[in-house]
Amino acid sequence: MNSEINLKSVKGIVKEYFSYFSSKNLNRLDEMFSEGVILRDWDIFAQGKEAVLAANNNIFESVESISVCLKEFYQDKKTAICLIEIEIDKQDLIKVVDVIKFNEDLKIIEVSAYKQ
């Protein structure tokens, strides 16, 4: 896979990931994660696909709505750095930096989220 295709592929996958997250679509997120995926943020650490999906489900159940807006995108090989805004219940806005790592099959192996 040449680097131009890889760049387009990773950015497209990242956009899909945020779209599925915003629509609380666990089935589609499941398809994007590797088996050993890791999720870490300021409150959560989960490892393994089932644990990460459960953590996402807990987030989804704790809010009426959640929406992710990708503001800036940077990439180094199979790592994406994303400046995003997360709107919760159409009132709270959180600025976050997501670092998303991919394996050779472009499955997500790690999501680390940091509040700005």
What's at 31, amino acid-wise? E
pLDDT at 1: 46
DSSP 48-103: SHHHHHHHHHHHHHH-S-EEEEEEEEEEETTEEEEEEEEEETTTEEEEEEEEEEE-
pLDDT at 33: 98
Q: Which CATH number fits the domain that encloses residue 41?
A: 3.10.450.50
Higher pLDDT, 34 or 2: 34
Whether the pLDDT of residue 2 is over 50: the answer is: no
Average pLDDT of 57-82?
A: 97
Which among 2, 4, 7, 22 is positioned nearest to 70, based on CA atoms?
22
What's at 72, amino acid-wise? E
pLDDT at 82: 98
Count of domains for the chain:
1
Domain carrying residue 106: 3-115
